[in-house]
């Protein structure tokens, strides 16, 4: 890791709180957090240098490093909550968020890092290049 990592503090509606720590460097890091239709689930779009990943964070489950799917074992440094492999529905939730989010809302939820400048349009283009659309 090239530094302290990204530490994101979260607090649930029922008052539980914790910090998620993700790998962050010049080329890696969380871009934006958002919610979907599922209760107790938040999503993170993560810039993984050459691709974008969706992290599905389930606030109702405890973290278990053994349950991390292969590509995220190095991204997630610590979390009080479960992080699951995204389904096709989760990817669709991410695409819908990017297609409908207003620029000012994206800026409020965006985590600037490294040398990359992200926008919803830029992330949609990256996902299209990954053949996820």
Give whole-number Cα distances, 59 to 43, 95, 112, 118, in Å.
Answer: 11, 21, 24, 26
Task: Write down the residue that tokens 């926008």 correspond to.
Answer: 119
Strand order across the beta sheet in which 41-48 lies: 28-35, 41-48, 52-62, 81-84
Task: Write down the residue that tokens 């290049």 correspond to.
Answer: 129
Could you give the CA distance from residue 113 to residue 55 in angstroms, rounded to a whole number? 17
Name every residue whose Cβ is closer than 8 Å to that of residue 1 and which is 6 or more positions away in sequence. Answer: 23, 24, 25, 77
Q: What is the per-residue pLDDT for 114?
A: 56
Could you give the CA distance from residue 106 to residue 121 in angstroms, rounded to a whole number? 11
Task: Return the bridge partners of 123, or none.
Answer: none
Each domain of the chain, given as residue ranges in start order, spans: 6-129
Using DSSP's 3-state secondary structure scheme, residue 132 falls into: coil
- Going residue by residue through the chain, which has 133 residues, state the pLDDT in tens, using 9 for 90 and above: 345 678 888 888 888 899 999 988 877 888 889 998 888 899 999 888 778 889 999 999 999 887 776 667 778 888 999 998 889 999 999 999 988 888 888 888 877 765 455 666 777 766 776 666 6
């Amino acid at each position: 890791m090239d530094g302290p990592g990204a530490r994101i503090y979260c607090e649930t509606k029922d008052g539980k709180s914790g910090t998620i720590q993700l790998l962050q460097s010049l080329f890696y890091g969380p871009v934006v957090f958002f919610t979907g239709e599922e209760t107790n689930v938040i999503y993170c779009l993560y810039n993984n240098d050459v691709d974008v990943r969706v992290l599905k964070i389930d606030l109702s489950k405890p973290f278990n490093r053994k349950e991390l799917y292969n590509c995220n074992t190095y991204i997630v440094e610590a979390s009080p909550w479960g992080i699951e492999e995204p389904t096709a529905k989760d990817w669709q939730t991410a695409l819908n968020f990017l297609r409908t989010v207003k620029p000012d809302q994206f800026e409020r939820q965006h985590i600037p890092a490294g040398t990359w400048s992200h926008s919803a349009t830029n992330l949609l283009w990256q996902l299209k290049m990954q053949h996820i659309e």
